[in-house]
Amino acid sequence: MQQESTPESESQVPSQLDQEALNNWFDERLEQKLRERAEARTPQLSLIATKGTLDMAYPPFILASTAAALGWDVSCFFTFYGLNLLKKDLNLAVSPLGNPAMPMKMPFGPDWFKSVEWNIPNALSSNLPGFEKFATLMMERTIKEKGVASIQELRALSIEAEVKIIGCEMTADLFGYDKAEFIDEVSEWVGAASFLSAAKDANICLFV
């Protein structure tokens, strides 16, 4: 014998269905809003620059200026030897010592000569007087002849593009630097904890 439905059971079924539909609707709306928020958010890049040689000065400024040109929010934290990249008077050198992957190509002579990679062993380069200065002059000449922007130009471009320049307070104290030695565009001097609290929200964080 078929059991007749009671008014109480009939009222519960639509209520359960409505609640399930409502939950699904909220889930879909939440996912949609989260997607819209992610798409509308300006990408953020945080860089940590630690090296102060001429060759290693290029990566942070190239990445920073390029990202800023794409409309990203960019901050760059200069610490230890990387802090030298913020000095008013830049006097950067190339250090082949400990950098065996660095090819030494001559910026003069016939094409076949300029294409040769002169991989000088560290044991030799470290004992040749004036070798670092020679390598620096060759790098500077190559940069100029290839039409590559100088570090001063890339730094100015990054500042113009509103890259946030951050100096390491601890490094300045450690090396006894006078902050008057550095460019006025350093937005703030902070420690690692302060920088990391801001960098944690970045889409990309790079150590260069």
Domain ranges (residues) in the chain: 6-41, 44-207
Residue 97 to residue 159: CA distance in whole angstroms: 31
Higher per-residue confidence, 41 vs 111: 111
Identify the residue whose tokens are 């730094």.
Answer: 155
CA distances (Å), 5 to each of 8, 9, 15, 155, 181, in order?
8, 6, 16, 79, 87
The enclosing H or E element of 47 equals strand 44-49
Residue 90 to residue 140: CA distance in whole angstroms: 13
Q: Helix, strand, coil % (nearest 5) of the chain?
A: 50, 15, 35
CA distances (Å), 56 to each of 37, 51, 151, in order?
36, 6, 10
Average pLDDT over residues 71-94: 93
Predicted local confidence at residue 23, as pLDDT? 74
The answer to whether 170 touches 80, Cβ cutoff 8 Å, is no
Predicted local confidence at residue 32, as pLDDT? 73
Residue 87 to residue 91: CA distance in whole angstroms: 9
Residue 145 to residue 12: CA distance in whole angstroms: 82
Q: Which of 43-52, 134-143, 188-197 has the lowest mean pLDDT?
A: 134-143
Q: Per-residue pLDDT tens for 5-58?
A: 555 545 454 555 577 777 777 777 777 766 766 666 689 999 999 999 998 999
At residue 100 the predicted structure's pLDDT band, cuts being 50, 70 and 90, is low
Q: Which of 6-15, 79-88, 178-187 has the lowest mean pLDDT?
A: 6-15
Predicted local confidence at residue 144, as pLDDT? 87
User: What rounded mean pLDDT belongs to the chain?
Assistant: 81
Amino acid letter for position 165: I
> Strand 44-49 and strand 73-78: pairing?
parallel
Give percent of the chain with pLDDT exceeding 90: 44
| pLDDT higher than 90, residue 99 | no
Q: Which of 34-38, 84-88, 93-97 has the lowest mean pLDDT?
A: 34-38
Residue 58 CB neighbours (<10 A) = 17
CATH of 44-207, one of 3.40.50.300, 3.90.1150.10, 3.10.450.50, 3.40.1260.10: 3.40.1260.10
Q: Which residues pair with 166 in a beta bridge?
A: 77, 188
DSSP state of 74: E
Predicted local confidence at residue 151, as pLDDT? 93
User: Which tokens go with 32?
Assistant: 């949609």
Q: Per-residue pLDDT tens for 146-166?
A: 899 999 999 999 999 999 999
What are the backbone dihedrals phi and psi of residue 104, each rounded to the nearest 5 degrees, phi first? -100, 105
| pLDDT higher than 60, residue 1 | no
